[in-house]
């Protein structure tokens, strides 16, 4: 089991920010608002929608596609952990069933489109970087991810994924 906790997500997310921008909000129509400080105020008792503020001024929260604040970059419900030619994102969802709460963590890679991370996907996407391909096999053949029954199963070994993606990003 490879559990990533909130502190690790926060650490990686801060490292994966767009370095030359403090904060920004991107909208579906192509507009972007840039500033120093982005704050999202959650409503009391979740009756209203959150209010968004850039440098103290309220901004529209309609049709936001992505944003960056002091804590990192987010697109939809995904938080970026690695920034480069190939980006690694994490999504966490919470489910409650029979009084028990569970957190589900999924990892996705973004290179032209968001995709779940499987052994097969990695082999295809990283084919132009021999060092990354070697690292994939080094990481996943001993752990069983490369077995035919597991090749298309989402990988949750985030430490191995980070090592592989950093090699790939350095390769290109």
- List the pLDDT tens digit at each of the 172 positions of the chain: 466 788 888 899 999 998 888 999 999 999 999 999 999 998 877 677 889 999 999 999 999 999 999 999 999 889 999 999 999 999 887 778 888 877 778 888 887 778 888 888 899 999 999 999 999 989 888 777 677 777 778 888 888 999 999 999 999 6
Same domain, 10 and 54: no
Same domain, 7 and 92: yes
Contact assessment for residue 157 and residue 122, using Cβ atoms and an 8 Å cutoff: no
Q: Is 84 helix (H, G, I), strand (E, B) or coil?
A: coil
Number of domains in the chain: 2
pLDDT value at residue 70: 92
pLDDT value at residue 172: 63
Strand order across the beta sheet in which 113-116 lies: 32-35, 23-27, 64-69, 72-75, 78-82, 87-97, 100-111, 113-116
The domain in which residue 28 lies consists of 23-69
Same domain, 49 and 127: no
Same domain, 36 and 104: no
Same domain, 36 and 97: no
Same domain, 99 and 116: yes
pLDDT value at residue 74: 92
Q: How far is residue 110's CA from residue 84's CA, in Å, rounded to a whole number?
A: 10
Taking the whole predicted model, whether its pTM rises above 0.75 is answered as yes
Same domain, 97 and 151: yes
pLDDT value at residue 21: 82
pLDDT value at residue 54: 95
Q: Is 66 helix (H, G, I), strand (E, B) or coil?
A: strand
């Amino acid at each position: 089991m490879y559990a990533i906790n909130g502190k690790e997500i926060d650490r990686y997310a801060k490292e994966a920010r767009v370095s030359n921008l403090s904060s920004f909000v991107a909208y579906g129509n192509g507009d972007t608002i840039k500033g120093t400080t982005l704050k999202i105020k959650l409503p009391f008792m979740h009756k209203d929608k959150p209010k968004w503020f850039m440098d103290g001024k309220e901004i529209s929260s309609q049709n936001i596609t992505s944003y960056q604040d002091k804590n990192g970059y987010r697109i939809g419900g995904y938080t970026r952990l690695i920034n480069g030619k190939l980006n690694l994102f994490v999504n966490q969802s919470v489910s409650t069933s029979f009084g028990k709460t569970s957190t589900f963590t999924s990892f996705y890679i973004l290179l032209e489109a968001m995709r779940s991370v499987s052994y097969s996907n990695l082999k295809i996407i990283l084919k132009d970087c021999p060092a990354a391909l070697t690292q994939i096999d080094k990481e996943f053949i001993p752990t069983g991810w490369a077995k035919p029954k597991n090749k298309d199963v989402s990988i949750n070994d985030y430490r191995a994924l980070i090592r592989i993606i950093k090699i790939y990003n350095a390769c290109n």
